Amino acid sequence: MIHPTAVVDSAAILGKGVIVGPLAVIDAGVTLGDGCEVHSFARVGGPPGHVKDKGEGCTLEVGPRCVIREHVTLHRGSKVGTGKTVIGSDVYFMTGSHVGHDCRVGNGVIMTNGAVLGGHSEVEDFAIFGGLSASHQFCRVGTMAMIGGAAILVQDVPPFCMAAGNRARLVGLNEIGLERRGVPEASIKALRKAYRLIFRTSGTRATLLERAKNEFAGIKEVEHFIDFIAKSKRGVARHGRD
């Protein structure tokens, strides 16, 4: 179902049951999965926000059942990056949210009104971004993390954590989100201990990660938490409010 005022490039690929609203624009190089909804004035697959690279030949892939609300902008990849922006399934983009070039967004992510991902950002499954929050280029956000409204990320936010503030800091675990996603209570308790050990205990980060790895071996949520932190290239947001 494509509104007669929408502009859909003939080279775009639309899955079954896709709905495109009035005055939405879908560019070449875009693939929309089955059941996606694109609302009024959205721009899906626009060129990357790069001074020299216009993303010729680059792509945007959007998984099934994503909702793209009014004035959302989703950019294609760039030639200086991976060449493609990839978005998973069941993602909800609220009004005015934005995904920059070469981003990778997992399944079930929620981008609240005005939330922005800079180019090359990586977001794991079921993360939630509050209104007007923003991620610097190349930042990573872990699964089930929750980013507070108007927060500015300049470093990675580990899985299962909450972050808030300008130059956002960690403010604890997203325990309500963990419960809602059905994470076992034993795993939540282990994550609490691992969080305190890594972020609220004196010692070098490498030493604390090794201690956590040994203490919580076999608990998959904690293992992912530790692995995410260990692989950070931008560094991980610190605990505590400014």
> What are the residue ranges spanned by the domains of the chain?
7-177, 178-230
- What is the structure's pLDDT at 242? 58
Catalytic residue among 119, 130, 142, 177: 119
Catalytic residue among 102, 106, 156, 177: 102
Work out whether strand 146-147 and strand 161-164 pair parallel, antiparallel, or are unpaired.
Answer: parallel
Task: Tell me how far CA of residue 187 lies from CA of 6, 126, 183, 222, in angstroms.
Answer: 47, 17, 7, 7
Active site residue 119: yes
Work out whether strand 169-173 and strand 161-164 pair parallel, antiparallel, or are unpaired.
Answer: antiparallel
Active site residue 63: no
**Beta-bridge partners for 93:** 68, 111
Tell me the pTM.
Answer: 0.97
Asked if the domains 7-177 and 178-230 are classified in one and the same CATH topology, the answer is no
CATH number listed for the domain at residues 7-177: 2.160.10.10
- What is the structure's pLDDT at 34? 98
- Structural Rg of the chain based on CA atoms: 19
Active site residue 224: no
Q: Which residues of the chain have pLDDT under 50?
A: none
Work out whether strand 104-105 and strand 84-87 pair parallel, antiparallel, or are unpaired.
Answer: parallel
95: tokens are: 């009004």
- 178-230 is a CATH 1.20.1180 domain: yes
Catalytic residue among 75, 101, 114, 142: 101
